[in-house]
Amino acid sequence: MAMHLAGKKSTINPVKPELGASSLFGDIASHIKEVPVELGGKPTVKEYQFSTANFKTSPKKLRLLANQIKGLDIQNAINQMEFSQKRPATRIMNTLAFARTNATTQEKYAMDASKLYVDRAWVGKGVYARRIKIHARGKIGVMHHPAAHMKFTLKERQPEVMEAGRARRRNIRGWKRTKKVWMPLIEDKPIYNPPRLYNW
């Protein structure tokens, strides 16, 4: 009997679970649905990340250019790099233009060139080349030739939300809106420990 059953092939096809699947959370993906923006859902923000190759420059000097283009529109950032007197600015300008072309022409991203802006820009350290530095009296030292690269993320600028019919204020350091309200000076309130000079 055992030999007879062993000769037959089983017609039952076992169901193999997917990679990372669980019996508890198997159907959770079917219940999750994206809420459209009209009904209060969050808009999907497209982003495109690009980087330069390592080239001969100092990360400290390249960080100045990263802080300059951060938050600017893509065309404004390219103009800033075009007229900058820094040596790495030409390479950053070409990289920004190449990244804009890729973000707008590739079907995976298909971003709008008029809405693109540099959301983030940061600098990474490359491999430092070491060379011999000749000193006096038969001594030698080590020279370090730095290398660095810049990475940045392009995003589409979303329309700003208007607050009570007013435009959104810029977040300037020292000029943030606070909850303190101006109050007039109380004339009959005594002043304790007055300074020798006027405060105004």
pLDDT digits (tens, 9 = 90+) for 63-87: 999 999 999 999 999 999 999 999 9
CA-to-CA distance for 151 and 89, rounded, in angstroms? 14
Phi and psi angles of residue 65, each rounded to the nearest 5 degrees, phi first: -70, -35
Return left, alpha or beta for 33; rule: phi > 0 is left, psi -120 to 50 is alpha, else beta.
beta
Q: Kindly report the pTM of this predicted structure.
A: 0.60
Please name the CATH architecture into which domain 44-156 falls. Answer: Alpha-Beta Complex (3.90)
Alpha helices (runs of H) in the chain, residue ranges in sequence order: 2-7, 28-31, 59-69, 74-82, 89-105
Q: What is the pLDDT of residues 129-167, one digit of tens each?
A: 999 999 999 999 999 999 999 999 999 988 765 445 555
CA-to-CA distance for 74 and 80, rounded, in angstroms? 10
- Return the domain boundaries, the chain: 44-156
CA-to-CA distance for 101 and 113, rounded, in angstroms? 8
